[in-house]
Amino acid sequence: MTSRLSKTAVLLMYSAATGALALTANAQEVASNAAHTPNQIVQKEASDGPGEVSPWAYSAKQGIGASYEAYKDFHYSDDAATGKVSKVWFSLADGIVTETMAGLIHEAQIRELQIAVAGKGYVALESTDTTSKIEYIHTDAEGRPLSPAYRLTNTDKQGRFVIVKDIFTDPDHQTLMMRVTVTALKGPVTPYIVLDPSVANTSGDDQGGASTTALQAFEGDAALSLKASAPFKKATVGFTGKDGLASLLAARNLGKLSSSDTGGVKGNIRLIGELSPVTSSTTFDVALGFGATTAAADAEAAATLKTGYAKVLANYNGEGSAIGWEDYLATLGELKTLIPVTEDNGKLLYASALALKVQEDRTYSGALIASLSNPWGETATPKVSATGYKAVWPRDFYQVAMAMAALGDKETPVAAFRYLPKVQVGAHTPGNKGDGGWYLQKAHVDGTPEWVGVQLDQTAMPIMLGWKLESLGLISKDELIGSYKTSLKKAADFLSFGGTPNLGWNNQKITPPYSQQERWEEQEGHSPSTTAAVIAGLLVASDIATQAGDTTSATTYKTKALDYSAKLDQRLYTTKGEVTGTPQSYYLRISRSDDALNPGVQDERNGRVGLRADKVIDAGFLELVRYGVRPAGDARITQSLKVIDDESITENLRVKYSFEGKYPGFRRYGNDGYGEDQVTGGNYAVFGQSSPNQRGRVWPI
């Protein structure tokens, strides 16, 4: 029972990386990964074309999805059992389709796709004028989801119509499919499809065309085409602010707007297609295809419509002879054994398994991202191409890979481990002129560096992953030793001796276990959570080195780990902390010195003035227990827990909150400013800089 509970804990911590299926500890992890410091070194900026600026979509997703694709020799290939690889991902928020990616997992091609409804004296939008309910289309008899196919039921707030949409992708084509049913409840209505593209992950450089058969947009070698099972009565494309939706909202019809293309002018565009009036109820299918040209995208959409709703959905689900999501779930050897220790009969467990697998790139197998969203997307503009959370952080990556191993997935964690050299800094890293062995803070799935701070836990975790996979029998001893010689030894050496990066802005000498950044990417210093990972990483590196016959390195790594462990409490456990108002003993969140009694002052971050380090606590010290560095009953651990659980601590420094019901919530740490403005209600850094009124959220468990 103990082992099952620990596996369940891992799964629930990292179950809903979407930020949509559940608000869990991984949502807390995901929410940390914004540019607190000017770390980004790779970006593409769109030109200032005509059209009002449109932001990305709301980041609290209701659901995410993509087709299941089988590996061939741990790689995605058109020659695998599932055939042609679908490289389309979608997200849902506010009752509509939001960012939909095609190509690489971070390459959003649209912002939003929704239905507008015009009736007598009104025009309503799904995103603002309806209440939305979401459910899985395909479940087992107990209601556990068997695929990430969704049904959205959007009911007009004034009771005038209902829209039901089934949403999934075509596993055999580069297409998103929707079946839409519009029901008029109080007089006839006219539905309009409203498509807001951001081709090539930006807006401002898009061009497009509209006809009665398709709505199309393109930029460079990326294009899309939306087709419906019934032709549009009228279709138009325009620059936002002067487009068909603006006309519809102003005049309740498209009027004389009939723009068929953007005339070679690039800008921020919107497309709209008018469908036949509905007096009772009507159903139609929509296919949004992607390709290198509008012709190729149109062919993908047409092929999906020709296959038809029932067949495409069955293929997606893996029903009958088709290989799909049912087949993936069947490979998870621990899935059913975990159901008895869940509290909802396994519904979140199954949803978690689906969500984790969806968030893998389909070109770079094993590339596991943090989340299919952009932080505070509704106030972040697509003028500059950015990955948002759709990128690789080795820490998030490690936790997801371990969760999938706990589920009994025998392939994805292996593909993930074999992917990791792509994001390890070395001679192959573009722009690198310094010491290597460490892993990029944040990278595109193709390995392109995005943020280049050194976080030592992210260098330890790949070693831990390899060791764990070999112990589970998922990789061979020979593979582990081979990886040690080519990759893991370099990481262990960096954890032992440090080095000086020279990549982008970063040329700061690193002396472990003092880390340039800790797990929340905001402060430098000694950190319990980082040090725990470094010690664990070095201990397993010592074991791997022994297996490889490298006894000298094995001794070095173990000696370093024991030294870091011996000095940990001196550096990080204060006996005179005043976070509660009176002297207390507890682990610090971070320390700038080797003396916990004189820990220095933290940097100002997220609008919050830096405080003396012994004023700031978090629960990161529990990593010491999770990684076996300290026993759970250690007096310092239990005393620190008492301080964390103290809800009488002043509001700015308090971490734990109790709510009505069973479970509490926690802030990431005291004095956290990574959140909304408490005075204005505005999003994080909404005007381009942080406000002192920003407050990090309380994250419920």
What residue type is 79 in one-letter code? Answer: D
Q: What is the mean pLDDT of residues 654-682?
A: 94
The 10 Å CB-count burial string (b at 16+, else e) for 560-583 is bbeebbeebbebbbbeebebbeee
Supply the pTM of this predicted model: 0.92
For residue 310, give both structure tokens: 């029932």
Residues in the chain: 701
State the distance between the two ends of the chain, measured CA to CA, in whole angstroms. 21
Q: What is the pLDDT of residue 249?
A: 87
For residue 583, cis peptide bond before it (omega within 30 degrees of 0): no
- Please check the confidence at residue 648 and state whether its pLDDT lies above 60: yes
Q: Reply yes or no on whether the pLDDT at 429 is more than 90.
A: yes
Residue 54 vs residue 362, higher pLDDT: 362
Query: How far apart (Å, rounded) are the C-alpha atoms in residues 452 and 38?
Result: 10
pLDDT at 46: 45
CA angle 367, 372, 377 (to 5 degrees): 140
**Are the CB atoms for 459 and 540 separated by under 8 Å?**
no
The token pair at 129 is 């004028």
When pLDDT is cut at 50, 70 and 90, the band that residue 256 belongs to is low
The residue extents of the domains of the chain are 2-20+328-700, 63-323
Chain center to CA of 225 = 26
Q: Quote the Cα angle for 177-180-186, to 5°.
A: 165
**What pLDDT score was predicted for residue 407?**
99
Residue burial 269-282, b: 16+ Cβ < 10 Å; e: rest: bbbbbbbeebeeeb
What's residue 49's pLDDT? 58
pLDDT band at 31, cuts 50/70/90? very low
Confidence band, pLDDT 50/70/90 cuts, at residue 251: confident
311 φ/ψ sector (left φ>0, alpha ψ -120 to 50, else beta): alpha
Q: Which amino acid is at 359?
A: Q
**Chain segment 435-486, per-residue pLDDT in tens:** 999 999 999 999 999 999 999 999 999 999 999 999 999 999 999 999 999 9
Question: Rounded mean pLDDT of 383-392?
Answer: 92
Burial state string for 481-496 with b = 16 or more CB within 10 A and e = fewer than 16: bebbeebbbbbbbbbb
Does the structure show a pLDDT above 60 at 51?
A: yes
CB atoms within 10 A of CB 661: 7
What is the Cα–Cα distance from 146 to 330, expressed in whole angstroms? Answer: 10
Tell me how far CA of residue 674 lies from CA of 32, 373, 465, in angstroms: 7, 17, 29
* pLDDT one-digit tens code per residue, 604-647: 999 999 999 999 999 999 999 999 999 999 999 999 999 999 99
Q: How large is the average pLDDT for residues 34-47?
A: 42
Confidence of residue 315 (pLDDT cuts 50, 70, 90): very high
Average pLDDT over residues 318-326: 98
- With tokens 């991902």, the residue in question is 89
How would CATH label the architecture of 63-323?
Distorted Sandwich (2.70)
Give yes or no for residue 40 having a pLDDT over 60: no
Q: Which of 7-11, 154-158, 232-236, 508-512 has the lowest mean pLDDT?
A: 7-11
Q: What is the DSSP letter of 525?
A: B
Q: How high is the pLDDT of residue 41?
A: 45
DSSP-assigned states of every residue in 332-394: -TTHHHHGGGSSSTTHHHHHHHHHHHHTB-SSSTT-B-S-SS-TTGGG--TTEE--TT-SB-H
Cα–Cα dist 590/599, whole Å:
8
Query: Is the domain 2-20+328-700 a CATH 1.50.10.10 member?
Result: yes
Over residues 421-427, the mean pLDDT reads 98
User: What is the per-residue pLDDT for 10?
Assistant: 31
- Average pLDDT over every residue of 642-657: 97
Integer angstrom CA distances of residue 482 from 313, 485, 495, 547, 577 = 42, 5, 19, 11, 47
The confidence score (pLDDT) of residue 255 equals 63
What is the reported pLDDT for 258? 58
pLDDT greater than 90 at residue 181: yes
The two structure tokens encoding residue 13: 């911590």
Render pLDDT for 504-518 as a digit per residue (tens, 0 to 9). Answer: 999 999 999 999 999
Nearest to 451 by CA among 118, 98, 40: 40
- The residue-averaged pLDDT of 584-588 equals 98
What amino acid occupies position 279?
Answer: T
Q: Which helix (H) or strand (E) holds 282?
A: strand 281-291
Query: Residue 32: what pLDDT?
Result: 35
Beta-carbon-side half-sphere exposure of residue 611 (alpha carbons within 13 Å): 21
For residue 268, the SS3 value is coil
CA distance 244 to 270: 8
Is-contact 411 130, C-beta < 8 A? no
Question: For residue 257, is pLDDT > 70?
Answer: no
Give the Cβ contact number of residue 648 at 10 Å: 7
Average pLDDT across the chain, whole number: 92
Asked if 269 contacts 243 with a C-beta cutoff of 8 angstroms, the reply is yes
